[in-house]
């Protein structure tokens, strides 16, 4: 269902809709986000990655970030049993990587260049930022689990960001 009013400046109280799933998805889709790949890795070669746009900063002191993963996601059990995780903030050129880590596959890392973090976490080469975190709290949030991560190490590059809005990858004008 689409929301007809193109200009909220002209809106009236009657335009406000009860929250049904279709309206909820459409309205929340207006909020533009970056795109990350959340990764786990171990010395024995185990590694896992999930595309997530639910990433955000929470606190400066201590430095905390959050993200959420669907309770039905097959990778949730691994994120519950590993405290350390990596965040790769994707660059505009990494749309294919975002799609690759959003689909189930035998090896989601196939063809993806990786760099190892200080804590041994696999991080996506060419990303806009790399962050290594330790999960310090997990909360149930409806049909998702919210993970709060303390930032351990981080670095940035200077590429244009990959942006997700209205259910699609977008580019920022001027970048």
For ligand FMN, the binding residues (CB under 6 A) are 35, 50-54, 68-70, 73-75, 98, 102-104, 164
Residue whose CB is less far from ligand FMN, 4 or 77: 77
Residue whose CB is less far from ligand FMN, 10 or 106: 106
Task: Please state, in angstroms and rounded to a whole number, the distance separating the CA atoms of residues 102 and 111.
Answer: 15
Residue whose CB is less far from ligand FMN, 17 or 99: 99
Task: Let me know: does 140 contact 60? Beta carbons within 8 Å.
Answer: no
**Shortest separation between residue 18's beta carbon and ligand FMN, angstroms:** 25
Task: Please state, in angstroms and rounded to a whole number, the distance separating the CA atoms of residues 86 and 133.
Answer: 6
**Shortest separation between residue 137's beta carbon and ligand FMN, angstroms:** 17
Task: Please state, in angstroms and rounded to a whole number, the distance separating the CA atoms of residues 50 and 73.
Answer: 9
**Shortest separation between residue 149's beta carbon and ligand FMN, angstroms:** 13
Q: Is 138 helix (H, G, I), strand (E, B) or coil?
A: strand
Residue whose CB is less far from ligand FMN, 49 or 117: 49
**Shortest separation between residue 12's beta carbon and ligand FMN, angstroms:** 34
> Under 8 Å CB-to-CB from 149, ≥6 apart: which residues?
64, 65, 66, 67, 85, 87, 133, 134, 135, 136
Residue whose CB is less far from ligand FMN, 102 or 154: 102
**Shortest separation between residue 54's beta carbon and ligand FMN, angstroms:** 3
Task: Please state, in angstroms and rounded to a whole number, the distance separating the CA atoms of residues 41 and 82.
Answer: 9
């Amino acid at each position: 269902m689409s929301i007809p009013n193109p200009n909220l400046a002209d809106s009236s109280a009657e335009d406000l809709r009860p929250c049904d799933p279709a309206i909820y998805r459409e309205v929340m889709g207006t909020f533009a986000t970056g795109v990350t790949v959340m990764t786990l890795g171990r010395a024995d070669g185990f590694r896992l990655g999930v595309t997530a746009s639910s990433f955000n900063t929470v606190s400066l002191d201590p430095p905390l970030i959050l993200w959420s993963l669907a309770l039905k996601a097959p990778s949730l059990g691994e994120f519950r049993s590993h405290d350390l995780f990596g965040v790769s903030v994707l660059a505009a050129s990494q749309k294919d990587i975002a799609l690759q880590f959003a689909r189930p596959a035998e090896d989601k890392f196939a063809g993806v260049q990786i760099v190892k973090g200080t804590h041994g976490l696999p991080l996506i080469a060419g990303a806009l930022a790399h962050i290594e975190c330790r999960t310090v709290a997990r909360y149930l949030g409806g049909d998702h689990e919210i993970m709060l991560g303390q930032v351990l190490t981080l670095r940035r590059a200077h590429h244009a960001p990959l942006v997700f809005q209205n259910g699609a990858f977008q580019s920022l004008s001027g970048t």
